[in-house]
Structure 1
Amino acid sequence: MLLVFIVVGLIPLYIFMYILLDNYEEKAVSSKFSQMQDQIIMLSNQIVPTGYLTLADVPEIDAEVNRIAEVFQGRILIVNSNLNIVEDTYGLYDDNKYLISKEVIQCFNGNISKVYDKENNYLILTHPITHTVDNQKTVVGAVVMNSSSKDIKSILLSLEQRAVIFSLALAIFIVLFAIIFSRKLTKPLTDIVSSIDRISEGVMDEGVSIKGYYEIEKISDSFNQMINRLQKIENSRQEFVSNVSHELKTPITSIKVLADSLLMQEDAPVELYREFMVDITEEIERESKIIDDLLALVKLNKTAGDMNISSVNINELLEQILKRLQPLAKKQNIEMIYESFRPVTADVDEVKLSLALTNLIENAIKYNVPDGWVRVSLNADHKYFYVKVSDSGIGIPEDALDLIFERFYRVDKARSRESGGTGLGLAITKSVIQMHRGAIKVHSVEGEGTTFNVRIPLNYIA
């Protein structure tokens, strides 16, 4: 970020300086050529009427030519139509010398030549001398004017020095500003990194309160929500470890007590043996159910590659599930209602989906009120089929809605144990639905009932 600030600040500055200096030099040279041209035009207007190109001995013209050459710190050569040098302010050529050059030859064709020699610091302007007769211009001579460009070079060097000083000062300011601003900009991110490091060390009780620009505050809020959820999951995990230890230990303890009781009674009647064996069998079944649910969940989470996809009639699948659960509903006098809006056939793993839907409907029966009802509905569109399971049961507290799909989480622990629940049913259900690329949502009002909405694609996509 610091490098970005420096580059973004300095590169435009360098480009601006380059364009500014180059533009000044171009305009300064153009301006000097214009001044030279103006002087030559005025000089030409004096030369033609006096016959200077033939006489070459007019003191007034000589003085004016020398004055102009001195002003421009250069040299002036005047050539007549025969290319004979009429005047040379340097006095190097006499009247018998000729000046034959490309620029002079082109000048007699009416062309003006301008040459800027940067290395030797001078400008050369070759300009025709014209005589107008009957509105017709005739080139009768040429003026070759050399002028020093040291003044332009001197000013340009002065500007470059000032620009360098200004650039250095501005560069220092940009670097300092970039350092301060980048530190201020990244400080909230550094604080978040520090908080993440503390969490990675196991300190999850501290939240993050970072004030800054809007996006950082949003990250801070999301981070706090993540910490809270992780804390809830950790609490749930610890509670699960405690619960599952208790749940697994309780049947074994009961079996041991029953077995010890039988061993202590040498002449125990057969009826007592039978009663104790029934109790031992129930405890073994309870232990077996907990272990089966654990294994089922582990197997579901291990891989989704074992999906046995086939075309299944969802209407018939739900009817079979309801038929199996009917005795449980009758035991609690629960009315079972099934609504099918259309025939539905989908590509699913029948065994796994049956397990998930059975868990939902069984929970709706177990956690219902006496003389209550359970309504199961099936519908579909061109892409998904939808299963809704509603009940008139005890409902789920609002603060528990986000946790009910966590492993071993149970809203009413006492009632869950009485009903034989292990806290794994909804976790298994969610895993199965996600393996089918589906989704599950829950809506519940405590004391009024719960509704689970399941959406699964008709066509399975691996």
Structure 2
Amino acid sequence: MNLKSVFSEIIHKLKIVNIFRSLRARIFILIFVTGFISCQVVHFAIIETYEGRAVAVRTTEAQTQARILADHLITYGYLQDTSSEIVGAELDMLANLYDGRVMIIDDNLKIIKDTYGISEKKTIISEEVVKCLKQGDNGTTSVYDANNGYIEITTPITQTRITEDESGNEVEVEEVVGVILTSVSTDNISTTLDILNQNASSIELIIIIVIFMFSLFAANILLKPFDRITNAINDIKAGFTNEDISVPDYLETEHIVTAFNQLQSRMKTLDESRQEFVSNVSHELKTPITSMKVLADTLVAQPDAPIEMYQDFMQDISKEVDREATIIDDLLSLVKMDKTAAQLNISTVDVNEMTEIILKRLRPIARKNNIELTFDSRRPVTAEIDEVKLSLAIMNIVENAIKYNKEQGWVKVILDADHQFFTITISDSGVGIPEDSTDLIFNRFYRVDKSRSREIGGTGLGLSITKSAILMHRGSIDVDSVLGEGTTFTVTIPLSYAK
């Protein structure tokens, strides 16, 4: 076998595998196999029912004729004298009627008459015959031999004998004096079964063809809604439309379409957010550059400017450079936060100690702004977290609470925990957040008070970084604020990190 034939065989097998992976092919196979098996079951059920019924009817008829014959045998004393032409004629008629064989057996198991004429005066050893002699009507048997095509029936020959009981009264007693062993041919039943099988096979072939066509039709009809979904998705992918899909044919298609529309809506939102983000980044990076360009052009336009002007302008340019660097640093932090949770460096951390270190770093800023910064630890807390990322998140919240506070204000940090989560609550007496802005403060570059944010050096990225870090820890952050009175951030993080 050459390499080309090997590849051809592999491709052929892959095509077969792909066909059986198709839902359309599976529905077709399911319907077709169900119909085919049903046909086979009905076919064999009819044949078996007919055969059983036909055998039972033929057995009953033969037994009735044999009982009539048994009475005639007693009437004409055939067991003692077999010369009766009437009984002989009846025996031949019975044998010819059922295309079989009739044997008359006396109570000594001697065959006194055989319509075949080959076993007369011989002794027969048969369990059925012995049972019939002993039990009479209760011992009547019929055995169907489908392989050899006959029914063997035993019928007792009984006569009434008058005898006296223990009281001396005359009573009639039935006694078995012989057995009629009848072999009934079932060739006509077999012939009828063959005809039924041929007819049933022809009808079955027609039904299977109909089922085959119906299976193809049903599979295509049932999967048309899914084809419409596929075509609609391909149109959206190709950019021909961005409308929501509607295929309400089945509950399953409704669920698929609803999930896709939700995904599409989310993608639209993300795309709008991305465009807005790029616009904001461009604006935020362009503003310091524009300021530096204006300052530099002013200096270039005044070659004889005094040294003090140069110093003032260079200080302003340095501040703009620092602001540009801060924006870039925050953007890099945000990009890192947007990566998957697999980037977390999880370790077991003493959260009390971590919070103390964060507040220690921020206390100089608080003292500079005359803000009282306090820490209330309700209980020792140890958790599985990324210390660097979560420290940055908590630091951003506390730093904002300090910066956007009132003169002689306060910031309180409370650490608590239960058996599943630990909670860090940061409250302040600051300027507060308008109610219509509480849902927007985590958006990138969003500022409640743009003039004040620029004045204190904010980039509008801190809370976005904070939320990303908290979500990476499978946590949550809630905001409760009253304008002019203060704000409370509640951060909830699981004690154990689950991947």
How far apart are residue 4 of structure 1 and its match? 1.6
Equivalent-residue separation in structure 1 for 2:297 and 2:457 (angstroms): 25
In structure 2, what is the equivalent of residue 192 of structure 1? Answer: 229
Matched, 1:386 2:423: yes
Paired residues for 1:204-223 under 5 Å? 205-223=242-260
Alignment CA distance shift 1:7-1:270 (3 Å): same
What amino acid maps onto 1:250 in structure 2?
T
Residue number in structure 2 paired with 1:241 = 278
**Is 2:480 the counterpart of 1:440?**
no
The CA deviation at 1:106 is 3.9
**Separation (CA, whole Å) in 2 of partners of 1:386 and 1:314:** 11
Q: What's the CA shift for 1:432?
A: 2.2
**Which residue of 102, 115, 122 corresponds with 1:98?**
122
Offset of 1:456 from its aligned partner? 1.3
Alpha-carbon distance in structure 2 between the residues aligned to 1:312 and 1:146:
99
Cα distance, 1:238 vs. partner? 2.2
> Over aligned residue pairs, what C-alpha RMSD do you find?
4.0
1:284 pairs, out of 317, 321, 333, with 321
2: CA distance, partners of 1:24 / 1:368: 98
- Whole-angstrom distance in 2 between the partners of 1:19 and 1:123: 22
- Paired with 2:365 and 2:180, the residues of 1 have a C-alpha distance of 123
1-structure distance, mates of 2:51, 2:36: 23
Within the candidate set 446, 455, 461, 1:410 is matched to 446
Q: What's the secondary structure of 1:307's corresponding residue? A: coil
Deviation at 1:311, TM superposition (A): 2.6
Equivalent residue, structure 2, for 1:313: 351
Distance 1:183 1:330, change over 3 A: farther
Asked if residue 324 in structure 1 is aligned to residue 362 in structure 2, the reply is yes
Alpha-carbon separation, structure 1, partners of 2:479 and 2:220:
46
After the TM superposition, which residues 344-355 of structure 1 pair with which residues of structure 2 at under 5 Å, given as runs? Answer: 344-355=381-392
Q: Which moved more, 1:100-109 or 1:282-291?
A: 100-109
Please state whether the residue corresponding to 2:80 is helix, strand or coil.
helix
Moved more, 266-275 or 411-420: 411-420
Provide the secondary structure at the position in 1 that maps to 2:271: helix
Q: CA deviation at 1:231?
A: 0.8
Which amino acid in structure 2 is aligned with residue 262 of structure 1? L
Q: Structure 1 residues 262, 69: closer, same or farther in 2, change over 3 A?
A: same
In the TM superposition, residue 58 of structure 1 has moved relative to its aligned partner by 1.8
Q: Quick one: distance in 2 between partners of 1:263 and 1:207?
A: 57
Percent of residue pairs bearing the same amino acid type: 39
Cα-to-partner distance string for 1:128-171 (whole Å, 9 max, x where unaligned): 43456557765533322122223333443454455445544544
The TM-score, its normalising length taken from structure 1, stands at 0.80
Q: Which residue of 2 aligns with 1:268?
A: 305
Classify the secondary structure of the residue corresponding to 1:243: helix
Q: Tell me, yes or no, if the aligned pair for 1:372 and 1:393 is still in contact at 8 Å.
A: no
Equivalent residue for 1:57? Answer: 83
Query: After the TM superposition, which residues 167-186 of structure 1 pair with which residues of structure 2 at under 5 Å, given as runs?
Result: 167-168=204-205, 170-186=207-223
In terms of mean alpha carbon deviation, does 340-349 or 67-76 score higher? 340-349
AA matched with 1:151? N
In the alignment, which of 13, 31, 35 is matched to residue 9 of structure 1? 35
Q: AA paired with 1:63? A: A
CA contact (8 A) 2:292 2:320 kept: yes
Q: Which amino acid aligns with 1:124?
A: E
Contact 2:358 2:395 in 1 (8 A): no
**Is residue 433–residue 481 contact of structure 2 (8 Å, CA) maintained in 1?**
no
Q: Give me the whole-angstrom Cα distance separating, in 2, the residues matched to 1:426 and 1:199.
A: 35
Q: CA distance change for structure 1 residues 218 and 41 in 2, over 3 Å: closer, same or farther? A: same
The alpha carbon displacement at 1:288 in A equals 1.1
Q: 1:308 to 1:78 in 2, by over 3 A?
A: closer
Whether the 8 Å contact between 1:344 and 1:379 is mirrored in structure 2 is yes
Q: Helix, strand or coil: the match of 1:55?
A: coil
Cα 1:311–1:40 shift into 2, 3 Å: same
Residue 43 of structure 1 aligns with which residue? 69
Taking the aligned partners of 1:353 and 1:413, their CA distance within structure 2 comes to 26
Distance 1:386 1:184, change over 3 A: farther
The one-letter code matched in structure 2 to 1:122 is Y
TM-aligned CA distance change 1:366 to 1:176, over 3 Å:
farther
What TM-score do the two structures reach when normalised by structure 2? 0.75
* Partner of residue 495, structure 2: 458
CA distance in 1, matches of 2:111, 2:254: 85
Deviation at 1:305, TM superposition (A): 4.9
Aligned length: 454
What secondary structure does 2:424 align onto?
A: strand
Partner Cα distance (2:232, 2:445) in 1: 28
Change (3 A) 1:414 1:118: same
Q: Are the structure 2 counterparts of residues 365 and 294 from structure 1 closer, same or farther at C-alpha, using a change threshold of 3 Å?
A: same
| Stretch moving more, 322-331 or 73-82 | 322-331
* Corresponding residue number in structure 2 for 1:77: 103
**Letter of the aligned partner of 1:143 in structure 2?**
I
Residue 189 of structure 1 and its aligned partner are, at CA, apart by 1.9
